[in-house]
Amino acid sequence: MRIIDPLKLAASLGGCYLAAAIGSLFTTPNIPTWYATLSRPDFAPPDWVFGPVWTALYTMMGISAYLVWREGLADPGVRAAMGVFVLQLAFNVSWSAAFFGLRSPLAGLAVIIILWGLIALNIQRFRGISRTAGALLIPYLLWVSFAAVLNFEIWRLN
Over the stretch 51-80, which tens digit does the pLDDT of each residue have? 999 999 999 999 999 999 999 999 999 999
Q: What is the pLDDT of residues 73-100, one digit of tens each?
A: 999 999 999 999 999 999 999 999 999 9
Q: Alpha helices of the chain — where are they, by DSSP H? A: 6-27, 36-37, 47-69, 76-96, 105-127, 131-136, 138-157
- This prediction has a pTM of 0.96
Average the pLDDT over 136-148 and give the result: 98
Residue 77 pLDDT: 97
pLDDT of residue 101: 98
pLDDT for the residue numbered 28: 97
> Quick one: pLDDT at residue 79?
98
Q: What structural domains and CATH numbers belong to the chain? A: 6-38+49-157 (1.20.1260.100)
- What is the C-alpha radius of gyration for the chain, rounded to an integer number of angstroms? 16
Percentage above 90 pLDDT, the chain: 97
- State the DSSP code for 122: H
